[in-house]
Amino acid sequence: MADWIYIVLLILIGLVLVVVELIFIPGTTIFGILGALLVAVGVYFTYENYGNTTGTYVFIGSAVAGGGLLIYGLKAKTWKRFALGSQINSKVKEGYVDALRLDMSGLAQSDLKPIGKAEFDGKTYEVSSQGDLIDAGSTVRIVRINGNKIIVKLA
């Protein structure tokens, strides 16, 4: 009687580990392999202790249960419960450079090596020089604006 309990526990724990692999932590493969090994050991002990007929029934039952769990785990409805349904439609620093224009002068807040901070009309921006090193406190002029990237040179 105790043999059946061990065999059933091996197979159930193995199937639970396979489900954990499929649904909760996919891609790790450790739990999936360990679960498959536990199921295989349970089926092996069934063949060893109860013969071919019972071993075959347990093997077929384990394969059907494992296949059913695999199909259930791969259905799209199962994944929708775990997937994030919302989307982020905003952009980073949207409207960041709207107040700036070409040839605008400002003051370098930090050393530009070649990236640093500069102040234009009382607001601080991250700027890049054209490769030159510019000391803090120097007057800089905007020569190009590419998206949110502000290119300056010494004025």
d(CA 92, CA 95): 9
pLDDT on residue 47: 92
3-class secondary structure, 81: coil
Looking at the fold, whether 112 and 147 belong to one and the same domain comes out as yes
Each residue's pLDDT, cut to its tens digit, for the chain (155 residues) gives 568 888 889 999 998 888 888 777 777 778 888 998 999 999 999 999 889 999 999 999 999 988 887 787 777 666 676 677 788 777 777 778 888 999 999 999 999 999 999 999 999 999 999 988 999 999 999 999 988 899 999 98
Looking at the fold, whether 76 and 118 belong to one and the same domain comes out as no
Residue 21 falls inside a structural domain: yes
44: which 2 tokens?
């092996």
pTM of structure: 0.50
Domain that holds residue 121: 105-154
pLDDT on residue 90: 72
Structural domains counted in the chain: 2
Query: Looking at residue 120, which CATH number applies to its domain?
Result: 2.40.50.140
Nearest to 113, CA basis, from 130, 96, 137 = 130
Looking at the fold, whether 75 and 109 belong to one and the same domain comes out as no
Residue type, 28: T
Residue 128 falls inside a structural domain: yes
Looking at the fold, whether 24 and 75 belong to one and the same domain comes out as yes
| Buried/exposed code over 20-39 (b: 16+ C-beta within 10 A; e: otherwise) | bbbbeeeeeeebbebbbebb
Mind giving me the DSSP string for 83-119?
S--------TTTTTTTT--TT-EEEESS-BSSEEEEE
